[in-house]
Structure 1
Amino acid sequence: MRKNQANSPSEEVVPDKNFVASLQKGLDVLTCFGRQHSRLTVSEVGRLTQSSPASARRSLLTLQTLGYLDSDGKRFWMLPKALLVAHAYLASRPAPSLAQPLLDALSERTRESASLAMLQGDDAIIIARSTARRSLSTGLGIGSRLPAYCAALGRVLLAGLPPEEAARRVRAMTRPRLSARTVTDAGEVLALIARCREEGYASNDGELELGVRSMAVPVFDRSGQVMAAMSIAVRAERMTLAEVRETFLPPLRKAAGSLVARLHAA
């Protein structure tokens, strides 16, 4: 596997005179909302964005005035206009649109959910997804973020980095135990990433959610570097992890290979 060039936040270039700090703060506020943080107070936004309450309040009120947020005077929440930001990405980049029919076909064939993700900071962010008839309780969708250290998608993406860079990132991450099976020790996580780098795939057995197993493979760009990861998720009662690998790894690799071919032809 070759390296993934997605940058971590700590590696961002020091802002120059053209850098608009207020825009950065506004985007940080806009992207701190999520399934677990659907309605937030000023102080909660300040904590999530690591900014002062005054700064968070200014950003929130500006976004409310622009129609991206609404408020009852205490809490703020997202409005549909915020979808325009996501739509701009999905409509302008080839990977999501080219991947969607492949994910749909994979999901239809296997009757399981399939996803495509890219590395964003410490997370794997889903940019395309097809949900099977057997829905999983994780409730994932486009834009969902999975912690890279314990998600199959994330481990594939981390395996695409140079080993020393992957090690630095993993050791710097917060690695909470999301289930009784979550691997949180940095050395163990790095061993799993090294194994993924060698074998060309990563797996997850109930680390994100008990009862859910997943497997992921890399998607390469024109230069042979890992640009994304594609995964399939299965309910644990259906099959063992070994059965998941035997049954779904070949079609998963085939779908990823088809996406690479389509991206190269685009």
Structure 2
Amino acid sequence: MRKNRDPAPSEEAAVPDKNFVASLQKGLDVLTCFGRQHSRVTVSEVARITQSSPASARRSLLTLQALGYLDSDGKRYWMLPKALLVAHAYLSSRPMPSMAQPLLDALSERTRESASLGMLLDDDAIIIARSTARRSLSIGLGIGSRLPAYCAALGRVLLAGLPPDEAERRVRAMQRPSLTARTVTDAREVIALVDRCREEGHASSDGELELGVRSMAVPVFDRSGNVMAAMSIAVRAERMTLAEVRDTFLPALRKASGSLARLQAG
């Protein structure tokens, strides 16, 4: 799993137009810089993560604290429950997560494995719905978790849903660190895997995010036949080979993704 967020645009970056509120962007960059690796942060850490000046980071932090989204001991800042309102607004206003949840629950119950639904966000697949099996995985994914698209099964499916030229451009431009000894990082190899997914209709990742974890994903199509999301199953490597994962779970995964596509189209 990706350890750090991609850097936010620098303060010197060109403003798209006169209606763009740069101060709002800075505040949102600060609010979204928190995570498993950055649960309590200092002003200097926020400035580094968001690529802003310490003065700008400090103003954003103090504003968010005054609004009740953050708390502080005077040195470090951390998130308060009010920040959940932002995520709740998305989950409650968009139909796909609520439609997907019972399908993921049924898929997880049937397979006894964890199932996820993700969409493309910058260079990552972001999880918007998830059902965790009793056999929990150590990577501890949840709604809002981001997985690097180049080495996650979800991400490869989502990249395959883009026009080939766009997918290749994105892969070549994104950072591709080795998360494990098995992570595929070479751009040509990643592009080949994305092309293969486009042909076969599914993608896999074998120990590339975390050693001992295998995953497989399929696309979820909209009524026009475009990929709008991806659905995946993750399995502990000691339970079955990747070929066994494909033979055992791919039909159920495709059935669940097809059901979600029909619900969305209806």
Q: Partners in 2 of 1:161 and 1:168 — Cα distance? A: 10
Q: Secondary structure at the match of 1:34?
A: coil
Q: Aligned pair in 2 of structure 1 residues 56, 14: CA closer, same or farther (>3 Å)?
A: closer
Quote the offset at 1:13 in angstroms.
9.9
List per-residue Cα deviations over 1:136-189 (Å, max 9, x = no partner). Answer: 001000000000110000000001111111111111111110001000111111
What amino acid sits opposite 1:138 in the alignment?
I
List per-residue Cα deviations over 1:180-236 (Å, max 9, x = no partner). Answer: 100011111101000001101000000000000000000111221111000000000
Q: Secondary structure at the match of 1:216?
A: strand
Provide the TM-score with structure 1 as the length reference. 0.94
Q: Secondary structure at the match of 2:230?
A: strand
Q: Secondary structure at the match of 2:223?
A: coil
Q: Secondary structure at the match of 2:250?
A: helix
Identity in percent: 86
Matched, 1:63 2:64: yes
Aligned match of 1:256: 257
What amino acid sits opposite 2:200 in the alignment?
E
Which structure's relative contact order is higher, taking Cα pairs within 8 Å and 6+ residues apart?
1
Quote the offset at 1:14 in angstroms.
5.4
Q: Secondary structure at the match of 2:25?
A: helix
List per-residue Cα deviations over 1:48-92 (Å, max 9, x = no partner). Answer: 111111111111110000000111111111110000000000000
Identify unmatched segments of 5+ residues in structure 1: 1-8
In the alignment, is the contact (CA less than 8 A) between 2:218 and 2:231 conserved in 1? yes
CA RMSD after TM alignment: 1.4
Q: Aligned pair in 2 of structure 1 residues 20, 123: CA closer, same or farther (>3 Å)?
A: same
Q: Secondary structure at the match of 2:120?
A: strand
What amino acid sits opposite 2:265 in the alignment?
H
Q: Partners in 2 of 1:205 and 1:14 — Cα distance? A: 41
Q: Partners in 2 of 1:156 and 1:124 — Cα distance? A: 10
1:1-266, aligned counterparts within 5 Å? Answer: 15-265=16-266
Q: Partners in 1 of 2:245 and 2:151 — Cα distance? A: 18
What amino acid sits opposite 1:141 in the alignment?
G
Q: Partners in 2 of 1:211 and 1:163 — Cα distance? A: 31
Q: Secondary structure at the match of 2:151?
A: coil
In the alignment, is the contact (CA less than 8 A) between 2:15 and 2:22 conserved in 1? no
Q: Partners in 2 of 1:173 and 1:53 — Cα distance? A: 26
Q: Partners in 2 of 1:186 and 1:228 — Cα distance? A: 23
Q: Secondary structure at the match of 1:127?
A: strand
List per-residue Cα deviations over 1:119-143 (Å, max 9, x = no partner). Answer: 0001100000000010000100000
Quote the offset at 1:18 in angstroms.
1.1
Q: Partners in 1 of 2:51 and 2:122 — Cα distance? A: 16
Q: Secondary structure at the match of 1:70?
A: strand
Quote the offset at 1:43 in angstroms.
1.0
Identify unmatched segments of 5+ residues in structure 2: 1-7
Q: Partners in 1 of 2:246 and 2:55 — Cα distance? A: 51
Q: Secondary structure at the match of 1:60?
A: helix
Q: Partners in 2 of 1:162 and 1:14 — Cα distance? A: 28
Q: Secondary structure at the match of 2:117?
A: strand
Provide the TM-score with structure 2 as the length reference. 0.94
